[in-house]
Amino acid sequence: MKKYIFLATIFAVLTSCAQQKKKSDVALKTEPQSYKIEEAVKDLSNPWGMTWLPDGSMLITEKDGRLIHFKNDKKTEIANVPKVYNSGQGGLLDIELHPNYKENGWIYMTYASEEGGGNGGHTALMRCKLESNSLTNIETLYKATPNTTAGQHFGSRIEFDNEGFVYFSIGERGEREVNPQDITRDGGKIYRLNDDGSIPTDNPFYNEPNAKKAIYTYGNRNPQGMAKHPETGKIWMHEHGPKGGDEINIVKKGANYGWVTVTYGINYSGTKITDEKIKEGIEPPVYYWVPSIAPCGMAFVTGNKYPQWEGKLLVGSLKFSYVELLTLQGDKVTNREKIAQDIGRVRNVKMGPDGLIYIAVEGQGIFRLIPE
């Protein structure tokens, strides 16, 4: 009897693992390199977020809670950064400037915060100003609850749309059966706020009893990439799947992206999560990866420095240490190419104000691609 149980278990695992082979896919190509990789900022630990001030200098978040101002090849640590819950995947996360930063001076950051009741932490969105290498006018705009000591899935990325609304992501904090599908709970969501932290009255669940009114989408696992499409203005994002099933999605009002009832991935143990990949009422991904690449950081190529890449989508890979360059036809991926191969664990990728591609790499620093 034990023999039959053992064989049945092996069969189940093998059947589940078969999900890891995507039947049809856009081939991942490697083209001749038309650029050189140049170090822009060296000796960083885990550069999570990066943005540029009007003078061309950089603000860089380090996961351990440090905010770095990089100017004229010199790093200055900014004072008065709120205490972060630096545990597991949590810490000081993304950073973005307000679209009208020159006029109002607001800087936005997400971070794992211990504020509120209970042990551990949860993701928060704050805004502040920078004066004399110190943060001032600090305001917490949103703090997810409840705190938990779980070390995974804090998110988080920040993006503004063309109307000035701020979007940010929070992962499901490892509670996949509870948080993502419940709009009365934080986690596994994309949120949308006015720039002052107030909640737009046209948010999809604003009038739902007991709902978290800031929620804009739900059914997300752990989104760590977000970017505004340069032509349509739509907010695109990607999120980690489990073992397989990383996804690219377009943020749509009130949409359910399916986690954990629908997925192209399986458990890390190799067992099945669900047979459902497509389901009525669930927003299908624009693209998904099997096997997972562990996507982190996202940007559209703009400007004239890389004319052959203009309009294409950049996605960093933590797992495979490269950046994926995806060609789009409307909302469909038609070509995939590896660039910056073997650069290291890519934590972020962005377009700089100089029109160059910048890549943040764990344990190293920030690099830029110089066209040749």
| Lowest-pLDDT choice from 5-19, 245-259, 351-365 | 5-19
Residue 19 has pLDDT above 60, yes or no: no
Out of 16-25, 300-309, 357-366, least confident range: 16-25
Q: What's the CATH number where 55 sits?
A: 2.120.10.30
Say which residues have a Cβ less than 8 Å from residue 181's Cβ, sequence separation at least 6.
Answer: 188, 218, 219, 256, 259, 260, 261
Average pLDDT estimate for 3-7: 40
Residue 26 pLDDT level (bands cut at 50, 70, 90): very high
Q: What percent of the chain has pLDDT over 90?
A: 92
Mean pLDDT over 182-209 rounds to 98
* Mean pLDDT value of segment 31-37: 93
Measured distance CA(318)–CA(201) in Å, rounded: 37
Active site residues: 153
pLDDT of residue 23: 67
pLDDT score, position 3: 41
Does a structural domain hold residue 190?
yes
Instruction: Please indicate, yes or no, if residue 359 is contained in any of the structural domains.
Output: no
Assign 31 a pLDDT band (cuts: 50, 70, 90): confident
Looking at the predicted structure, is the pLDDT value of residue 17 above 70? no
Residue 169 within any structural domain of the chain: yes
pLDDT category at 12 given cuts 50, 70, 90 is: very low
Domain count for the chain, please give it. Answer: 1
Residue 289 lies in a domain: yes
Is 341 among the domain residues? no
Q: Is residue 303 assigned to a domain?
A: no
Q: State the pLDDT at residue 20.
A: 61
Confidence class for position 10, pLDDT limits 50, 70, 90: very low
Domain annotation covers residue 362: no
Q: Tell me the pLDDT band of 27, cut-offs 50, 70 and 90.
A: very high
Q: Residue range 138-156: average pLDDT?
A: 98
Residue 7 confidence (pLDDT) above 60: no
Residue 8: per-residue pLDDT: 42
Residues 6+ apart with CB under 8 A from 208: 183
Q: What average pLDDT does the segment 105-112 reach?
A: 98
Provide mean pLDDT across the span 334-345: 97
Q: Is residue 92 part of a domain?
A: yes
Range of the domain at 120: 47-293
pTM for this structure? Answer: 0.94
Average pLDDT, whole number, for the chain? 94
Please state which of the ranges 4-13, 91-100, 129-138, 276-285 shows the lowest mean pLDDT. Answer: 4-13
3-state secondary structure the chain: CHHHHHHHHHHHHHHHHHHHCCCCCCCEECCCCCEEEEEEEECCCCEEEEEECCCCCEEEEECCCCEEEEECCEEEECECCCCCCCCCCCCEEEEEECCCHHHHCCEEEEEEECCCCCCCEEEEEEEEEEECCEEEEEEEEEECCCCECCCCCCCCCEEECCCCCEEEEECCCCCCCCCCCCCCCCCCEEEEECCCCCCCCCCCCCCCCCCCCCEEEECCCCEEEEEECCCCCCEEEEECCCECCEEEEECCCCCECCCCCCCCCECCCCCCCCCCCCCCCCCCCCEEECCCCCEEEEEECCCCCCCCCCCCEEEEECCCCEEEEEEEECCEEEEEEEECCCCCCEEEEEECCCCCEEEEECCCEEEEEEEC
